[in-house]
Amino acid sequence: MVDTDIYSDLNDQQIAAVQCSLGNKLILAGAGSGKTRVLTCRVAELINKYDIRPSNILALTFTNKASNEMKQRLEKLLRISSQGLWFGTFHGICRRLLKIHWKEAGINEHFTILDSQDQLRIIKRIIKAKNLDENLYDPKALQSFINTQKDKGKRFNNINNDDDKYRDIYKEYDEACRQTNSVDFADLILLTYEMLKANMKILEYYNKRFKNIMVDEFQDTNTLQFNLLKLLNGTDGSLYAVGDDDQSIYGWRGARSKNIKFFEDEFNNVEIFKLEQNYRSTNEILSVANNLISYNKERLGKNLWTNSAKGNPVYLYEAYNGDDESNFIVEKIQEHISSGGKRSDIALLYRSNFLSRRLEEELNSRSIPYRIFGGFRFFERAEVKDVIAYLRVTVNTSDDSAFERTVNNPPRGLGEKTIQVIRNYAKENELSMWDTINQIHKTNITSTRALNALNNYISIINELIINVKNLDLKNLIEKTISLSTLTKYYESKKNEESLSKQENLEELLSTAERFYQNNIDSEDVLSEFLDNAALEAGEFQSKTHEDPVQLMTIHSAKGLEFPIVFLTGMDEGIFPNENRNLNKDFLEEERRLCYVAITRAMHTLYITHANMRYMHGNNNFLIPSRFIGEIDDDLLEPIKSNNTRPFKSNKKYKMDDQKFDDEYSQETHPDHFSQEDNSVYIKIGQRVRHLKFGNGVILSYTGKGDSLKIHINFESYGKKWLVMSYAQLDFNI
């Protein structure tokens, strides 16, 4: 029996959610509302009050960490062993079921599980066997396609796709898995679903056994996981789903936020409970979070509150530029450290990875240890290292390591066999690999396709060698990115990861320009830049015991909390991100992401934005994020830089969630100027028409006179930089 004292420190809402009757329950658990404790106490309640055996309770989570935490709490609470509990992730539980019912699932008893890299290797092998161009049929894009279809519960024979080869590759991939007695992660759930649906006796057994199913982070379930839960729950089960529709931020990887809304429609006699008392943040922080999320229309609705004492106001810092923003943040960090605070109390959160670069520079310059949580330092990121490797070959053609990284990156049709031939020839003849490929045409050891690819690579490097003497650092790197076709390669992927890579390459241009300005008197800026990149990349991240400041994307911060949070880069176009499709659903997810960031803060929250930021190799004038404008003025305490141009009330930054082109207010930017010999005033957000590209909206501008360039997002052609004196833009639309 469970001691009833375990409920003594639960609040009224938590008690109601824990002690409710059997049946289908939806628990809307706000950020910091103690959902893990509620889940654990609910299990205890089922065992204590309803005399349900622990082995008859199925608990599903999204991480092993969450599952293990529940087990440990339950062991302590009930003084029982967790052995025999059916607690685990969706993938872990499905693996367990498939190990029991492998025959019914139509797989081998001793099946192995493929990781992401194993999956990718099989797909690459199929592409090669079909003699397909990897630039047209990118392995990672195909991997994403296959996994997405499986997450929707679809096999190759019941999908619609314009390209039959996608279906064919999916089919051959499945056949390869069967031949090797392998399943991938997505298949663990799909095979389980198919097995249960096809075997009524087995399904009935688990319907009876697991009359009580618990699900954590229900808002993160995808279509297939939702359908699996419906199947397992049956017509008279008790599904206890805990989630927060305001924290659904993984739509880009298949999570379906509307599953919470569908819960009442798809399950019988649903009862909803809300956990709104927050034990993490101050009332000031919660007021900002509640205010912002209220703009989302597709939500069930709840309002976080706390009994904690009055805390610090939520600070809004309006920086002159990106440098000013990072200086302010690091100065505040130093103040905290000087007053005896811990560095690890502080988290710097950002929407996109590229924003970490300027923060890293400032932290390094002041010798403050930091750690990138869930990611890499800027110069350790693969796409940045790729460009650096091209530059290394350019200044030192004998650099075989850089050669190997670049010769088939992006893919040019060179296989590992050809690379090994080059290695062997170089070793036997005591040559660098670069010298080898310049001689290799004299031998008969490579195919025509390989020779063409190598000649293409040679021409790229030779052109870069010429340009080393003619271009400054930023323009050389820009030329390198262009000639290598890395950006074009990433643009073709059209996924979240590739967008992040493009942003990092753009930030590399900005980093190069800053480095050049700081080392303008150097005799060899390029060599110094490469040395600096190598030194930074070679430094190991600070360890936990060194008490580092934490840097991370907001997605990585989900589930974490920190006494002090800096939410940085709150500029329109950065957050929400202009590179994404800003439709209504995406904007609501972006707003939820901002809500998640705000609710990571326990005691102190700073929100920062910049009036100007060096991006894309240029100074760009910016306006604050619409999310700042949605927060009531009296909930924020403004802090202004001494260099900041004056702005009016935050209210003027509010925008309607309509089409992207219409979302920029023409009254939002105070700076405007007339071009020489032209009476037209340029404003951020202004609509224009181009003879070829059609209608668009001005995002930013740089330069003046004949050098004036305007960054425009066109409805049909996307974002383009145009020289004003040649563009022939129509401003009267």
- Give the residue numbers annotated as catalytic, written as ranges: 35-36, 216-217, 247, 600
- By DSSP bridging, strand 25-29 and strand 238-243 are parallel
305 DSSP assignment: B
Instruction: Tokens 């060194």: give the residue.
Output: 546
Q: Residue 511, SS3?
A: helix
Q: What is the 3-state secondary structure (H, E, C) of 651-667?
A: HHHCCCCCCHHHCCCCC
- By DSSP bridging, strand 618-621 and strand 636-640 are unpaired
Lookup: tokens for 151: 């997450």
Contact 604, 327 (CB under 8 A): no
Instruction: Tokens 């100065």: give the residue.
Output: 331
Contact 35, 216 (CB under 8 A): yes
142 burial (CB, 10 Å; 0-12 / 13-18 / 19+) is: buried
CB atoms within 10 A of CB 441: 13
Q: How far apart, in Å, do the first and last CA atoms of the chain sit?
A: 75
H or E element at residue 693 = none
Contact 271, 25 (CB under 8 A): yes
Q: How far apart are CA 223 and CA 634, in angstroms?
A: 41
Angstrom distances, CA of residue 219 to CA of 127, 198, 242, 258, 358: 36, 27, 8, 8, 34
Residue type, 118: D
| Residue environment code for 689-727, b if the CB has 16+ CB neighbours within 10 A, otherwise e | ebeebeebbbbbbbeeeeebbbbbbbeeeeebbbebeeb
Q: What sections of 180-282 are H helices per DSSP?
A: 185-198, 200-209, 223-233, 259-266
Residue among 516, 300, 497 at smallest CA distance from 382? 497
| Residue environment code for 365-390, b if the CB has 16+ CB neighbours within 10 A, otherwise e | eeebebbbbebebbbbbebbbbbbbb
Q: Report CA Rg, the chain.
A: 28
Supply angle C-alpha 658, 257, 244, rounded to 5. 110
Contact 365, 536 (CB under 8 A): no
Q: Residue 213, SS3?
A: strand
Write the Ramachandran bin of 392: left for phi over 0, alpha for psi from -120 to 50, otherwise beta: alpha
Lookup: tokens for 88: 């685990």
Angstrom distances, CA of residue 289 to CA of 31, 285, 304, 372, 653: 10, 6, 8, 25, 18
Residue among 249, 242, 218 at smallest CA distance from 595? 249
Residues 12/17/18/20 CA torsion (nearest 10 deg): 110
Q: What is the 3-state secondary structure (H, E, C) of 335-355?
A: HHHHCCCCHHHEEEEECCHHH
Instruction: Tokens 């190759």: give the residue.
Output: 156
H or E element at residue 44 = helix 35-49
**Max Cα-Cα span within the chain:** 87
